[in-house]
Amino acid sequence: MAVRVYDVRHTDFQHWGREVTPEEFKKALRTLNIATQSEAADMFGIGSTRAVQYYLSGGRKIPGPLSLLVRLAVELPAVRRKLKK
């Protein structure tokens, strides 16, 4: 069984543990070619499009686990492919 090693562009992993800001979330959705709040909710397992709207507007803080998942999806193609299934 081959072990895959991924080229992660960021060598500073400390930022991975902090919450994603609304601006970073918007940028991540553009990077992932997610055009609608419904697509974002489906891809990341967010309960409703309303919650996505709150995250994008800054009305709610983006939870830590979602922040990490967003960062992983942007950085690692294998995670991105798995989420899009």
Q: Mean pLDDT, to the nearest integer, of 70-84?
A: 86
Alpha carbons 3 and 21: distance in angstroms, whole number: 33
Q: Give one DSSP letter per residue of 67-85, joined into a string.
A: HHHHHHHHH-HHHHHHHH-
Is the pTM above the cut of 0.85? no
Give the architecture (CATH level 2) of 20-84: Orthogonal Bundle (1.10)
Q: What is the per-residue pLDDT across 21-67, written as a single tens digit (0 to 9) for each?
A: 999 999 999 999 999 999 999 999 999 999 999 999 999 999 989 99
